[in-house]
């Protein structure tokens, strides 16, 4: 029996992927700022409304404000008004299931963090304070993910990973690794245990009733690169332990030369466990989002 695919909202891209990304696996979309990654991600999130009955959720890790344009895109492309998850709002103990685990579309974890994007910017004291703040924020985001998953959400888009010289210096990549392994791929009961902690026994019956399968959840990570040209991205070396080496599917988006002009194109360079087309496909960004050349 073949594994069901997650439709991306872009039929031409689904065709390249042999039907779409696989649930329970990581798909990375990589390209320079402004190439169209966010619009691709939002098309994938919105496609969940038709396929699973619930749109996907957006986890924004940019540290420079809402520069990704999520709200403008969702309003214009899908008539979709994003609902916010408040990271710093402490839930009342009496409202765990009714309000604190309500369905929300969008979580911006580093909204108040200024412009720092690397750990090397921090001295020892600043890093200690940062780690305390990050641990608090990550505990709050368990509510965001768990609350959405028990409401039927089955796809996650993670945006805002900015380029750094060394992956080990990126707090955004470190945060992603934590979220992916400690929340998205973790058994639902253990996520609930992390969420409720000493109050888990009180909530155990409700946790058992409102479970979900992490293997059904698809994750799309939007990863900004230094490289702008598609050829440069294709030639980019992948080191052991690199995020791209661990991903199931990798889609590259970049500029390509068309005579005396530059255009946009994408290609699937990795799609583990599935047949895929390995051609370079031009695309344009129109009023309704990404349009792939199907010729």
Q: What is the distance between the alpha carbons of residues 234 and 228, in angstroms, rounded to a whole number?
A: 11
pLDDT of res. 241: 61
pLDDT of res. 109: 86
11-292 CATH choice from 3.40.50.300, 3.40.50.11440, 1.20.910.10, 3.40.50.2300: 3.40.50.300
| CA angle at 40 for the pair 36 and 41, rounded to the nearest 5° | 115
- The partner residues of 271 in beta bridges, in order of sequence, read 249
Each residue's pLDDT expressed in tens, for the chain with a length of 295 residues: 567 899 999 999 999 999 999 999 999 999 999 999 999 999 999 999 999 999 999 999 887 655 568 999 999 999 999 999 988 766 655 455 555 578 999 999 876 555 555 666 677 887 787 778 778 888 889 999 999 999 999 999 999 888 877 777 788 888 899 999 999 999 999 999 999 988 899 889 989 998 999 999 999 999 999 999 999 999 988 765 678 888 999 999 999 998 889 999 999 999 987 878 889 999 999 888 899 987 6
Contact 135/94 with Cβ under 8 angstroms?
no
| Residue tagged 């065709």 (tokens) | 15
């Amino acid at each position: 029996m073949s594994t069901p695919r997650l439709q991306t909202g872009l039929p031409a891209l689904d065709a390249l992927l042999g039907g779409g990304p696989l649930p329970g696996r990581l798909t990375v979309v990589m390209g320079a700022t402004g190439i169209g990654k966010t619009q691709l991600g939002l098309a994938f999130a919105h496609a969940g409304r038709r396929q699973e009955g619930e749109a996907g959720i957006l986890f924004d890790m940019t540290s420079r404000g809402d520069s990704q344009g999520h709200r403008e895109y969702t309003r214009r492309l899908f008539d979709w008004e994003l609902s916010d998850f408040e990271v710093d709002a402490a839930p009342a103990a009496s409202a765990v299931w009714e309000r604190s685990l309500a369905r929300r579309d969008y979580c911006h974890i580093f909204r108040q963090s200024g412009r720092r994007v690397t750990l090397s910017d921090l001295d020892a004291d600043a890093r200690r304070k940062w780690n305390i703040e990050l641990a608090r924020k990550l505990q709050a985001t368990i509510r965001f993910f768990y609350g959405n998953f028990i409401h039927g959400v089955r796809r996650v888009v993670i945006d805002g990973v900015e380029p750094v010289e060394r992956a080990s210096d990126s707090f955004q990549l470190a945060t992603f690794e934590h979220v992916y392994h400690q929340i998205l791929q973790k058994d639902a009961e253990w996520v609930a245990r992390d969420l409720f902690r000493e109050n888990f026994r009180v909530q155990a019956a409700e946790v058992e009733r409102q479970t979900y399968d992490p293997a059904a959840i698809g994750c799309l990570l939007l990863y900004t690169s230094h490289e702008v040209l598609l050829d440069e991205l294709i030639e980019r070396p992948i080191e052991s332990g690199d995020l791209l080496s661990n991903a199931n599917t990798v889609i590259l988006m970049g500029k390509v030369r068309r005579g005396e002009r530059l255009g946009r194109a994408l290609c699937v360079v990795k799609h583990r466990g599935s047949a895929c087309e390995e051609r370079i496909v031009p695309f344009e960004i129109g009023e309704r989002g990404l349009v792939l050349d199907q010729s």
